[in-house]
Amino acid sequence: MLTLFLIFYPVVAATLILLIRGERIKQAALVAALVELAIAGAALVSFKPDASSQFGFDYAWIGSLGIRFSAGIDGISILLVLLTGLLVPFIILSTFNRSYKQPATFYALMLYMQAALMGVFTARDGFLFYLFFEAALIPIYFLAAMWGGENRIPVTFKFFVYTIFGSLFMLVALVYLYYQTPATLTAPHSAAIADFYKLKLTPEAQNWLFWAFFIAFAIKMPVFPFHTWQPDTYVESPTPATMLLAGIMLKMGVYGLIRFILPIVPLGVEAWGKTAIILSVIGIVYGSIIAIRQRDMKRLIAYSSFSHVGLMAAGVFSQTETGMQGALVQMLAHGINVVGMFFVADVIFSRTNTRQLDQLGGITQSTPKLTVFFMIMLLGSVALPLTNGFVGEFLLLHGVFTSNHYLGLAAGFTIIFGAVYMLRLFQKSMFGSTTSRTETFADLTSSESWVFIPLVVMVFWIGVYPNTFLELTQPAVVNLMKYIGTTAVSMK
Amino acid sequence: MLPIVLLSVFGIGLLFLGFMKSRAILLPATLLFLVVALAVNFIDWNKSYLYFNDMLRTNNLAMVFTAIILLSAFMVVALSSNFLNDESAQPAEYYAIILFSLVGAIMMVGFENLIMLFVGVEILSISMYVLTGSDKRNLRSNEAAMKYFLMGSFATGIMLFGMALLYGATGSFTIAGIGSYAAHPQVGLSLLLYVGLLMLLIGLLFKVSAAPFHFWTPDVYDGAPTIFTAFMSTVVKTAGFAALFRLLSVSFGGVYTFWWTILAIITALTLVAGNITAVYQNSFKRMMAYSSISHAGYLLIGLASLGTNTKQAIVFYSLAYSIATIAAFGVLLLVAQQRSSQTITSEGVITENFDSFNGLARQNPLLGVAMTVSMLSLAGIPLTAGFWGKFYMFSTAVERGQIWLLVVAVLMSAVGIYYYFRVIIAMYFRDGGNDPIQVAPFYRYVLVAATILTLGLGIAPGLLEGLF
């Protein structure tokens, strides 16, 4: 039942915000999101670390077709539910010093988005997953295209068509899988993901199913060469929308890899997994190199995100327990870091009206708070030990390395390159002599600090004691690995 | 079969009402007649009767199709209030013709005999020729009517020829009789049957504007008064597909192996032609014409992979499509009428370009939402009825193992998103228009009802289950 609240409470809250339209819309949205965080927190606290699916509910939705409205939280979902619950209130808080036209619509769309994301991460029925997967796109598209930058219309449109195009392949795959499940005259086919796991699929079918799913998720993440929508969309979107995109939405892709591709088409992964890792590693190196050359802060962070997510995909496809665990923790960590980084860019932009690195510099002199927070978020991003990025990236690299030494080595560049572009970003913007734009730079306001504080706490918590989170996911991951390693391959 | 009788009587009654001085009574009277027809339609629910010397059959499926047709007609008529203010219009005649055309549509839904099918198609078509040309002083309307009439009567001729050949092959005009003849293809069937079937198909596919018989559609839809375009693209399409389904499932299920490849190729052609051409349109109305072609393609998927789920798929799809299309045309009607400064070009021609929607959502949030929901539904985005329509269609294809057809359909729905979203982009993200559009109450009710229905069916598609 808790899952039901997680999904529907934001819908109700958003609709109320739309209908009531008072003076204090921001505050109302923040409170609404904090309540959702409390629900997610309750789920986290009472979550039993085993491989089962908890807090679930299950209703017949389209009875004659056997499609059910069924959702629940298991070890693979829990961290993403936490991430979605955690980030949205702070993304809303980060907008407190900005004013957006039509604020009621703006915040309502963010909450609708949150509901859809919760649905994606908890759905236990294939079609329900698909439904939320697509539904998440509508609010974010409107957020980006209504409040975005100058070039927003063509850029966001490309993003929209590109991602829908990808997910249509997934729809085909889901419909196909659905018709493979057994049916009798009285009991229809089933779309439950658990039933998809039990299917006996031919190797040929697994190969094309692999690609149908992979394209959908690869576009979402994005993995090279499906990434061309990403940098422009991140740059043109308003920062809160970028945070939602980079912080949470791209995790839908990684989550999909773990939930669908690995267990349903193990032979497809056997045949094509190496290709997928190579594409991901190309993305890691390519994204990093481009990031080094960027002048625009937001674009630089966009490419760094592209590079990081490549490592997550590679880790998942390494099919090792460490790789998988790393991907789950890194999803949480990356969400926190990237939201922090985009917020830094937003703070700087709001004061200087530029994101170009060559027009910035010398900000440290007047901004002790910003400098400290920026540095911590940055160290998390470059995976310094004792920060959250380290745990995830170390596990991921270990996973990739076990599966293939050379690819592991190539993927390791992410840490070196990451340090290069991130430190360059810091140096160009914060150090050096002040420019005309940064002379009168004011330090963080208290509401801005309050965005950073919880993020920083999380950076260190995950970095110093990752076991809190690893323990939650481990049983589910072990279970999944065991399933893939033995049952699935022999059965299919 | 009461709706057929009642609608005929009502139509004649409406003609007499036209003698009255006040035109205001015509619209509510027509709406009332439609409601009565819709209500009596369900009298035979759960029963199956043959009427008029075995010419027509009622069953639940026919009644559901009739209900969709009457509902679409009701919504279209409710959007027609501006006839009453137009001096040169003759609303009594229009409404009467609409009611007569519905008689034809209902015959196409429940025919048991090919003659009845022919009569139904002709009643519907001739009414449509007249309504297309009803804007007498408009050159485009005249051109459209002429084109439609010439090409349409040619297609009906081919259809009639096909029926004659079928009679030659089977010795029967009833679909059951033809069905029992065609049920045993292994004994060797007369060549006339195949030729006759093809010709009959060509005639019906012309009516539902499937490629390569679709060339009339854009000009006719574009030239006809918008309100009748809305009527044509919903009622005619639903009736046409109901007829095709009835024909293929009852009579020609036995020779499925013969016609499915042909139909599958036509489906793919229709999808590609409709969607790709729609991308290049600048006029919203013309885009909707091509969109109606592309939706004919999606509906054909269900027929080309005829199976146990086809019935449900076609019913759901035509309902979802009709509601969304009527809402879209409703908004277009308002925009074209009231944003005249933007919609009339220097030559005095009303254009219905995408630009005339600019900034609409800011001035009229209701119109913006109604249009957005209907476009999302037509594009097949989840949480709208259109998604489940596509879903059911795709399921039938997978069930028959026609993966390649499915791939074409999926690629084309991605293309579809492109042109449907152009309207949404214009409405929400571009600036334009100064004064909000005045929305008359009837319009508001229809648009709100369409939006609620589309979303409702999108969230709970099971509502229609088990009805037929």
Nearest C-alpha in B relative to A175? B395
B428 touches chain A (CB under 8 A): yes
Q: How confident is the model at residue B146 (pLDDT cuts 50, 70, 90)?
A: very high
Please tell me the number of Cα atoms within 13 Å of B408 on its side-chain side.
22
In chain A, residues with a C-beta closer than 8 Å to the C-beta of B398 are 172, 175-176, 178-179
For chain A, the distance separating the N- and C-terminal CA atoms, rounded to the nearest angstrom, is 34
Cross-chain residue pair B465–A62, CB shorter than 8 Å: yes
CA geometry: angle B48, B52, B57, nearest 5 deg: 25
Q: How close does chain B come to A137, measured CA to CA in Å?
A: 10
Which backbone phi and psi does B113 adopt, to 5 degrees?
-130, 140
* pLDDT of B343: 53
Q: Inform me whether the pLDDT recorded for A350 exceeds 70.
A: yes
Chain A CB contacts of B394 below 8 Å: 171-172, 175
Chain A residues in contact with B417 by the CB 8 A cut-off are 160-161, 164-165
Which chain A residue is nearest to residue B362, measuring alpha carbons?
Answer: A102
B457 shares contact with chain A (CB less than 8 Å): no
How far is the alpha carbon of B430 from chain A, nearest alpha carbon, in Å? 9
SS3 A73: strand
Placement of tokens 């969709």 in the chain: B68
Supply A38's token pair: 């409390």
For B417, which residue in chain A has the nearest alpha carbon? Answer: A161
| Contacts (Cβ under 8 Å, ≥6 apart) of A279 | A218, A223, A224, A225
Please state, in angstroms and rounded to a whole number, the distance separating the CA atoms of residues B66 and B38. Answer: 8
Mean pLDDT over residues B44-63, rounded? 86
The arithmetic mean of pLDDT across residues B226-244, rounded, is 93
Calpha distance A284→A423 (Å, rounded): 18
Selected residue with higher pLDDT from A489 and B54: B54
pLDDT digit string, tens, across residues B165-211: 999 998 889 999 999 888 887 777 888 899 999 999 999 999 999 98
Distances (CA, A) of A481 to A263, A266, A318, A407, B347: 9, 11, 11, 21, 71
Contact at CB, A142 and B376, closer than 8 angstroms: no
Which backbone phi and psi does B174 adopt, to 5 degrees?
-80, 145
Q: Which of A18, A59, A62, A140 to mutate to test the interface with B (most CBs of B within 10 A)?
A: A62
Q: What is the mean pLDDT of residues B264-284?
A: 92
Which residues in chain B are closer than 8 Å to A127, comparing Cβ atoms?
A: 391
- Residue A23, token pair as written in the block: 């003076």
What is the band of B468 on the pLDDT scale with cuts at 50, 70, 90? low
Chain A interface, best mutation among B301, B383, B400, B459, by max A CB count within 10 A: B383
Of the listed ranges A483-492, B64-73, B393-402, the one predicted with least confidence = A483-492
Strand, helix or coil for residue A356: strand
Quick check: A62 and B382 CB within 8 A?
no
The structural domains of chain A, with segments of one domain joined by +, span 2-491
Q: Which residues contact B142 (CB under 8 A, 6 or more apart)?
A: B133, B136, B223
Best mutation site among B394, B457, B463 for testing chain A: the one with the most A CBs within 10 Å? B394
pLDDT digits (tens, 9 = 90+) for A387-400: 888 888 889 989 88
The Cα of B416 is separated from the nearest Cα of chain A by a number of Å equal to 10
By DSSP bridging, strand A67-73 and strand A54-62 are antiparallel
| Nearest in space to A181 (alpha carbons), one of A130, A134, A125, A255 | A125
| Residue given tokens 């086919």 in the structure block | A189
Q: Is B428's CB within 8 Å of A142's CB? A: yes
Chain-chain contact of A135 with B382 (C-beta, under 8 angstroms): yes
Predicted confidence (pLDDT) at residue B388 exceeds the cutoff of 60: yes
Q: What is the mean pLDDT of chain B?
A: 88
pLDDT(B262) > 60:
yes
Q: Flag if A172 and B410 touch (Cβ within 8 Å).
A: yes
The mean-pLDDT minimum among A366-370, B276-280, B282-286, B365-369 falls in: A366-370
Average pLDDT over residues B268-289: 92
Q: What is the pLDDT at residue B350?
A: 59
**What residues of chain A lie within 8 A of the CB of B399, using their CB?**
179
Residue closest to A70 by CA, chosen among A195, A246, A236: A195
Contact of A16 with chain B, judged by CB distance below 8 Å, is answered with no
Sign of the CA dihedral B36, B38, B41, B42? negative
The backbone torsions φ and ψ at residue A68, rounded to the nearest 5 degrees and listed phi first, read -120, 150
The torsion defined by the Cα of A334, A337, A338 and A341, in degrees rounded to 10, comes to: -160
Q: Cβ of B430 and A153 within 8 Å?
A: yes
pLDDT given for residue A115 in this prediction = 93
Closest by alpha carbon to B244, among B194, B311, B167? B311
Model pLDDT, residue A28: 87
Tell me the pLDDT band of A492, cut-offs 50, 70 and 90: low
The DSSP element (H or E) to which B51 belongs, if any, is strand B49-51
Q: B212 forms bridges with which residues in the sheet?
A: none
Chain B residues with beta carbon closer than 8 angstroms to that of A134: 381-382, 387
Q: C-alpha angle B252/B257/B258, rounded to 5°? A: 70
User: If contacts are CB pairs under 8 Å, which of residues 74-133 in chain B contact chain A?
Assistant: none
Check CB contact under 8 Å for A160 and B395: no
Residues of B in contact with A169 (CB under 8 A): 410
Q: Do A164 and B395 touch (CB under 8 A)?
A: no
CB atoms within 10 A of CB B195: 16
pLDDT score of A447 more than 90? no
Residue of chain A whose alpha carbon sits nearest to that of B431: A146
Any A CB within 8 A of B464 CB: no
Check residue B53 and give its pLDDT: 84
Average pLDDT over residues B309-316: 90
A308 min Cα distance to partner chain B (Å): 29
Predicted confidence band of residue A113 (pLDDT cuts 50, 70, 90): very high
CB atoms B425 and A145 under 8 Å: yes
DSSP A228: T
Nearest to B242 by CA among B422, B401, B468: B468
pLDDT band at B122 (very low <50, low <70, confident <90, very high): very high
A172 min Cα distance to partner chain B (Å): 8
The tokens for B103 are: 């008689």
Among B166, B93, B102, which Cα is nearest to B133's?
B93
> Counting one residue from A and one from B, how many pairs have CB atoms under 8 Å apart?
73
Q: Which helix (H) or strand (E) holds B56?
A: strand B56-58
Cα three-residue angle B64-B65-B71, rounded to 5 degrees: 90
Nearest to A311 by CA among A340, A286, A341: A286
Residues 137-196 of A with CB under 8 A from B: 138, 142, 145-146, 152-153, 157, 160-161, 164-165, 168-169, 171-172, 175-176, 178-179
Q: Which of A63, A142, A172 has the CB atom closest to B462's CB atom?
A: A63
Kindly state whether B252 is in contact with chain A, defined as any CB-CB distance less than 8 angstroms.
Answer: no
Q: Which of B381, B413, B461 sits opposite A62 (nearest CB)?
A: B461
Q: Report the alpha-carbon distance of residue B384 to residue B459 in Å, rounded.
A: 7
State pLDDT tens for residues A15-59: 888 887 777 888 888 888 999 999 998 888 888 888 788 888 888
Position B375 pLDDT exceeds 70 = yes
Comparing CA positions, the residue from B176, B61, B64, B157 lying closest to residue B114 is B176
Q: Is the pLDDT of residue B22 over 80?
A: no
Q: Nearest by CB to B383, which of A135, A164, A176?
A: A135
pLDDT tens profile B314-356: 999 999 999 999 999 999 988 887 776 555 555 555 567 888 8
Mean pLDDT of A98-103: 82
pLDDT of residue A490: 66
Q: How many angstroms away from the CA of A258 is the closest CA of chain B?
A: 23
Distances (CA, A) of B157 to A256, B124, B143, B259: 55, 15, 21, 21
B109 vs B70: CA distance, rounded Å? 12
Q: Which of residues 47-106 of A touch B (CB under 8 A)?
A: 60-65
Does the beta carbon of B404 lie under 8 angstroms from any beta carbon of chain A? no
